[in-house]
Amino acid sequence: MDIKLGGAVDLTHTIREGMTAYVGDPAPRVVRVKELSSDGVNLSKVEMGVHTGTHVDAPLHFVRDGLPVDRLPPEQFVGEAAVLDLSALEPGTEISPKDLEPHLGEVRKGDIVLLYTGMSLHWDEEWARTNFTCLGNDAAMLLVRRGARAVGIDYMSIDRYGSDHATHKTLLGNGVPIIESLGSGLRGLAGRRALLVCLPLRLGGCDGSPARALAYPLEAQA
């Protein structure tokens, strides 16, 4: 089957001071340390946690002796993605296997599975920071068994706020990296397939990294 690439959908949050961050994480700072007028060049310094904005979680994030982000193969973050539409669930819902079952026919072995929950539409709303839709541990195991290459979600964590991070541990412990804080552009891809390019920075020994996430809608040609 021939495949046609459409225009890219940018799923990446802009890194800026004052942006929404996970509760307790460092607030990002962007500081100009050299000015063109006085130094002949503009140069900025960025200070933030590596899980700020759109980012990748490496196994080292929760797995003892897990791989750091610089040792993950790029191929885990580039490939066909199935975008599952779970936005009908109430905010704060923990996605269960029963919630996933109607969508499993959309998932092929080796897919990157992206969960559109609709929480990205509430990105800057304070209530959402602790009451967001997340992926339950049993549902995570279902995606592992389905052969997911990576799993992404459109809010700051794939686990319930204040939980024991069982979903992170299940996915990362089975070598399935996580992509978090995908942008609201995922809404237009819900129920469709896309080519995802979501490459983390090659940060030596790090448990995660900011990433630029671009999705190209896939359309089958007749």
Q: Which domains does the chain have, with CATH numbers?
A: 3-13+50-220 (3.50.30.50)
The answer to whether residue 1 scores a pLDDT higher than 60 is no
Taking the C-alpha atoms of residue 97 and residue 95, their distance in angstroms, rounded to an integer, is 7
pTM above 0.85, yes or no: yes
Region 113-138 average pLDDT: 97
Q: Distances from the Cα of 131 to the Cαs of 3, 20, 57, 82, 140, in angstroms?
A: 39, 14, 21, 25, 19
Is-contact 210 2, C-beta < 8 A?
A: no
* Residue 107 φ/ψ, nearest 5 degrees: -100, 125
Rounded to a whole number of angstroms, the CA Rg of the chain reads 18
Average pLDDT value for the chain:
95
Residue 3 pLDDT: 54
Residue 126 pLDDT: 96
The answer to whether residue 110 scores a pLDDT higher than 60 is yes
